[in-house]
Chain A
Amino acid sequence: MIYQGKQKIWSEYQKGIPSDGWFYVRSCIRQNFFPASEKFFLGICRDTLGHDIYETKHHTTCGGIAYHSDAIPQETAMTIVARQFALMKEAGYKNLVTSCITSFGNYTEILETWREFPELETRIREKLWEATRREFDKPEYVAHASDLVYKFRNEIAERAAHRLVDVHTGRPLRIVEHIGCHYSKMFPHKGIGGAEYPCVLSGMVESWGGEVIDYPERRHCCGFGFRQYMVKANRGYSLSNTHKKFESMEPFRPDAIITNCPGCPYFLDRWQYVIAEQTGKTYGSNGFGIPVFTYEELAGLILGIDPWDLGLQIHQVAVEPLLDKMGVPYNPGTKYLGLNEKDIMRPGLPSALKCF
């Protein structure tokens, strides 16, 4: 009965996501920490599955982090976004797909605010013209990149080289899914499944053979908090929130975590390292952490892409325990090679968290 209730609510939050005609905008944070995820989003959706996604070198930040850190006024953030819309119009595209969850929330909030206060949209059009001599059309559809991977999840499953299954036992792997707050907490109807039962990541996990863990703090923020991480003096907030999530998920013995926000995988990965170094506590087995992945990284593993091409070597929590469970082959000797197989040494090792 309860399951039916969840299904009923979830059915109200379906999105008719277009397959093609996408204008892609990158993420400030993901470029730094997960550049290969952005590469393989385009690689999988555009090159492997043949969908039309376009990127121009002229696009920029949406300003979302600065806006939510109170460093720029609302009209500045809106006009930067209006410029992105103008670039999309000039390129002949009508659908906008963002790599970043903060951007997705920012674009959605701006469009909703303009819908409610049309005079503000008029003012921003004037500001954009004054500053750049550009004009824009509002997108017909705004999606987050994970929406597209969700839409294509079964096509990815059909091409699977590996599944989210323990190859030694046949057990579905237990996966924690963590969704960025600005995906659907502000505008639930804009996210697949809404804010209560978002399905964008759990749908991928189930399609690829895994089992989704439901745990008490599943919807709790990772703790980014913009200024609460960007300023060193505030990072206790960020660490404390991640710690709360790990204490809550620990009894369910997750094999891995999948995320769709730029900051979340970084924080869920790095704060495990900090917790281990400060307290000696690790949340995986045998001194390892729980590996944390972007949805593109997990999709890439499913499709048989080399883990080091996916950038899994620049995580701080070792990913090898999950690779071993999935039966993904990897070469430890090539993990830390640079461009053109150049020897660039290797990172130091943490003292408490087990790494390779």
Chain B
Amino acid sequence: MDYFEELSKDYRFKEGFHTCINCGTCTAICPAAEFYKYDPRKIVSIVQTRDNAQIEQLLKSETIWYCGECMSCVTRCPRKNGPGLVIIALRDLSIRLGFFTESEKGRQIYTLSKRLNNNILNKGYCVHPSTFTYHDHPESGPVFEWVLDHKEDVYGRLGARYGQDGPGALRSIPQEDLDELKAIYNATGGTARMELVEKHSRAKAAQMGMTMEEYEEYTFNHCSGGHFNGE
């Protein structure tokens, strides 16, 4: 496969990739580059070489997963490139080709896909108090541990409609609307994407000698050394 040709079909790539002059403005402004071993200038520079072997290395690398998609680079590029958009296209291709399991940060797609899509398809939103646990989010503090222990009371006092019918925050989304979301997933590749991530992740978990529960726990929690500058 010609990876550059494949990337060129992606609308994010069409929007975000023009000739890069290697000025490094994107790297200077990038929140990820300050902490991670990440250099968006180098990534765009590699892509524009059209060197298949180098692009394949990128698709299997840790580095394409360091971006936070804040899009600060889009504002600053003097040539109207969007390195963040190029990153989205690279990640998309990495997932489609199953290369994402080759990197620690790429393997996290399994837990992201499972948790976010389950929330969307079952609750109608990406984040929901019924699946947000203090165990996974100790940074939410003792105040939020208390909120989660008293959801009906706290959210009720604050005017939300937690688990209830009708418009409002945290309402229960009608089943017919959840069914429409599922139909959209089926029609647009969302379901196929979830199944693809699951298939490649299962293969990787087996290779690593883990059950899927262990694999999810590991990908969600484990951070090896070497990702950060100065390490």
Chain A residues close to B by CB (< 8 Å): 26, 28-33, 35-36, 38-39, 55-58, 60-61, 63-66, 68-76, 78-80, 83, 105, 113, 116-117, 120, 127-128, 130-132, 181-182, 185-186, 188, 195, 219-221, 223-228, 230-237, 239-241, 244, 270-271, 273-274, 309, 311, 313-316, 336-339, 342, 344-350, 355
Mask, B156-193, CB within 8 Å of A = 1, is 11111000011111110110010011011111111001
A80–B170 CB distance below 8 A:
no
B144–A61 CB distance below 8 A:
no
Contacts of B67 in A (CB 8 A): 225
Residue of B with least CB distance to A336:
B146
Report the separation of the CA atoms of residues A227 and B31 in the bound assembly, to the nearest whole angstrom.
14
Report the separation of the CA atoms of residues A28 and B144 in the bound assembly, to the nearest whole angstrom.
17
Contacts of B72 in A (CB 8 A): 181, 185, 219, 221
Chain B residues close to A by CB (< 8 Å): 10-12, 14-15, 31-32, 34-36, 65-72, 74-75, 82, 88, 91-92, 95, 105, 108-109, 111-113, 115-117, 120, 124-129, 132, 136-137, 139-147, 150, 152-160, 165-171, 173-174, 177, 180-181, 183-190, 193, 219-223, 228
Contacts of B147 in A (CB 8 A): 314, 347
Report the separation of the CA atoms of residues A349 and B146 in the bound assembly, to the nearest whole angstrom.
11
Residue of B with least CB distance to A233:
B223
A131–B186 CB distance below 8 A:
yes
Residue of A with least CB distance to B95:
A70
Report the separation of the CA atoms of residues A348 and B222 in the bound assembly, to the nearest whole angstrom.
28
Chain A's nearest CB lies how many Å from the CB of B7? 13
Contacts of A127 in B (CB 8 A): 184, 187-188
Report the separation of the CA atoms of residues A227 and B75 in the bound assembly, to the nearest whole angstrom.
21
Chain A's nearest CB lies how many Å from the CB of B224? 9
Residue of B with least CB distance to A224:
B68
Q: Is the interface of A mostly helix, strand, loop or mixed?
A: helix
B88–A70 CB distance below 8 A:
yes
Chain A's nearest CB lies how many Å from the CB of B62? 11
B68–A69 CB distance below 8 A:
no
A271–B126 CB distance below 8 A:
no
Q: Can you list 27 pairs linking A and B with CB atoms under 8 Å apart?
A: A28-B125, A29-B126, A29-B127, A32-B132, A35-B169, A36-B158, A58-B174, A58-B177, A60-B124, A63-B126, A66-B117, A71-B112, A72-B120, A75-B189, A76-B189, A80-B184, A131-B184, A131-B187, A132-B180, A225-B70, A236-B35, A236-B228, A239-B139, A273-B139, A309-B158, A339-B156, A347-B146
